[in-house]
């Protein structure tokens, strides 16, 4: 994989998120008493708990960002295929005069075209969503 390969970027982002989750487990271990819990002051236990919660928030944010990146990469491949299929199905529904299906496929064409436009804008902006 080249450095520009989106799969490499996603793999690196996923690895970072997993490392953040490891940091969470260390903080939770301290907070839950694995280690010399009895010798820790109440303040130290509270601090460990607060740090564990902050690490959880950080890990969740990183995982959410990776999830969004993966969804975008899947959609970059999948949405054009959906648009082509919806156009084909819409043409067939129009030939039959099937109004409910014309409305259905018209709606999903609009949704998928909007998603493709969103992905294009993000790509032009350097991947910022």
Q: Which helix (H) or strand (E) holds 5?
A: none
- For residue 1, is it within any domain? no
Domain span including residue 78: 6-124
Model pLDDT for residues 16-73, shown as the tens digit of each residue: 766 666 655 555 555 555 555 566 677 777 777 787 778 788 888 888 888 888 888 8
Asked, for residue 19, whether it belongs to a domain, the answer is yes
Find the helix or strand (DSSP H, E) in which 128 lies.
none
Structural domains counted in the chain: 1
In a 3-state reduction of DSSP, which class is residue 95?
Answer: helix
Could you please report the per-residue DSSP string of 57-110? HHHHHHHHHHHHHHHHHHHHHHHHHHHHHHHHHHHHHHHHT-HHHHHHHHHHHH
In a domain, 129, yes or no: no
Query: Is 40 a domain residue?
Result: yes
Task: Let me know if residue 82 belongs to a domain.
Answer: yes
Question: Whole-structure pTM over 0.85, yes or no?
Answer: no
Q: Is residue 84 part of a domain?
A: yes
Q: CA-to-CA distance for 69 and 32, rounded, in angstroms?
A: 33
For residue 25, being part of any structural domain is answered with yes
Distance (Å, rounded) from C-alpha 124 to C-alpha 37? Answer: 52
What pLDDT digit, counting tens, does each position of 87-101 carry?
999 999 999 999 999
């Amino acid at each position: 994989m080249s450095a520009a390969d989106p799969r490499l970027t996603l793999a690196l982002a996923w690895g970072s998120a997993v490392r953040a989750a490891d940091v969470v487990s260390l903080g939770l271990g301290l907070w839950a008493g694995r280690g010399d819990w009895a010798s820790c002051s109440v303040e130290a236990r509270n601090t460990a708990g607060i740090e564990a919660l902050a690490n959880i928030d950080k890990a969740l944010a990183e995982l959410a960002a990776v999830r969004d990146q993966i969804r975008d990469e899947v959609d970059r491949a999948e949405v054009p295929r959906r648009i082509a299929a919806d156009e084909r199905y819409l043409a067939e529904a129009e030939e039959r005069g099937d109004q409910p299906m014309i409305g259905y496929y018209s709606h999903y064409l609009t949704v998928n075209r909007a998603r493709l436009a969103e992905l294009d804008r993000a790509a032009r902006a350097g991947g910022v969503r």
